[in-house]
Amino acid sequence: MKITLEPWTEDLKQDLIHICNTVDRTYLTNRLPDPYTEESADWWLNMVREKDGTEGLFRAIVADGRVVGNITVECFTDVYGQDAEIGYLLTPACESKGIMTEATRQFCELVFDTLNLRRITSKVCVPNIASWRVLEKNGFQQEGLIRQGFVKNGQVYDYKIMGKLKE
Ligand SMILES: CC(C)(COP(=O)(O)OP(=O)(O)OC[C@H]1O[C@@H](n2cnc3c(N)ncnc32)[C@H](O)[C@@H]1OP(=O)(O)O)[C@@H](O)C(=O)NCCC(=O)NCCS
């Protein structure tokens, strides 16, 4: 399967809406609007236009020509400004095919080549095994464990802080 990363454009809006309305939200924060509407997509694509390449990097994941997911980093600010948080999601029909492992490999290279960062950070709920495997296979190490720090729909989860250094 051929995996590539493409900049988000207006043309991909319906793909974005489809992905965000089908993704498994169990371990996602509530920042992702539910339902994900045209307005949600317009707001997000506008934010991407303003910040891409300076305050973050935002890419569509394309598998054999189809847009199947989203992968982003958003830079922290002030003294944390050479660190950024990575996030990703995939439409469920495409899970467990190695897509995010490959997308993350390509994306981390692009991020370190494009932005002035020393590291990339991720927060991953402990039961989200697929996600921390993706990170581990891409050289992220566990740096901390935040106990009971993630509460969603009445469920309480521990989460891992994972980090990858540029060197
Ligand atoms: C988490 C997610 C990004 C993983 O992407 P993916 O393309 O399915 O992952 P990959 O196919 O590259 O597989 C990653 C690893 O997890 C394993 N895995 C996949 N699903 C699993 C599951 N349900 N339970 C345990 N391991 C699983 C795979 O076997 C693989 O590990 P391996 O190489 O040791 O066999 C995707 O499932 C997703 O979008 N989930 C919903 C949104 C989300 O949770 N995002 C992350 C928030 S931190």
Structural class in CATH, domain 3-117: alpha beta
Judge residue 69's burial from the number of C-beta atoms within 10 Å of its C-beta, 0-12 exposed, 13-18 middle, 19 or more buried: buried
Distance 100 CA to ligand 1 centre (A): 7
* Cβ atoms of residues 130 and 88 within 8 Å: no
DSSP 80-131: GTTEEEEEEEE-GGGTTSSHHHHHHHHHHHHHHHHS--SEEEEEEETT-HHH
* Cβ atoms of residues 56 and 84 within 8 Å: yes
pLDDT tens digits for range 9-41 = 999 999 999 999 999 999 999 999 999 999 999
Distance 52 CA to ligand 1 centre (A): 26
In ligand 1, which atom is closest to the CA atom of 97? 11
104 lines ligand 1 (CB under 6 A): no
Nearest to 56 by CA among 131, 114, 123: 114
The CA distance from 15 to 20, in Å, is 9
Which residue has its alpha carbon closest to ligand 1 atom 48?
124
* Cβ atoms of residues 9 and 46 within 8 Å: no
3-state secondary structure string across 118-151 = CEEEEEEECCCHHHHHHHHCCCCEEEEEEEEEEE
What global pTM score does this model have? 0.97
pLDDT band at 167 (very low <50, low <70, confident <90, very high): confident
In ligand 1, which atom is closest to the CA atom of 125? 48
User: Probe ligand 1: pick from 134, 138, 157, max atoms within 8 Å of CB?
Assistant: 134
Judge residue 9's burial from the number of C-beta atoms within 10 Å of its C-beta, 0-12 exposed, 13-18 middle, 19 or more buried: exposed
pLDDT tens digits for range 65-86 = 999 999 999 999 999 999 999 9
User: What average pLDDT does this structure show over 47-66?
Assistant: 98
Nearest to 58 by CA among 82, 87, 34, 31: 87
The CA distance from 84 to 47, in Å, is 16
92 lines ligand 1 (CB under 6 A): no
User: Probe ligand 1: pick from 28, 70, 96, 104, max atoms within 8 Å of CB?
Assistant: 96
Distance 157 CA to ligand 1 centre (A): 18
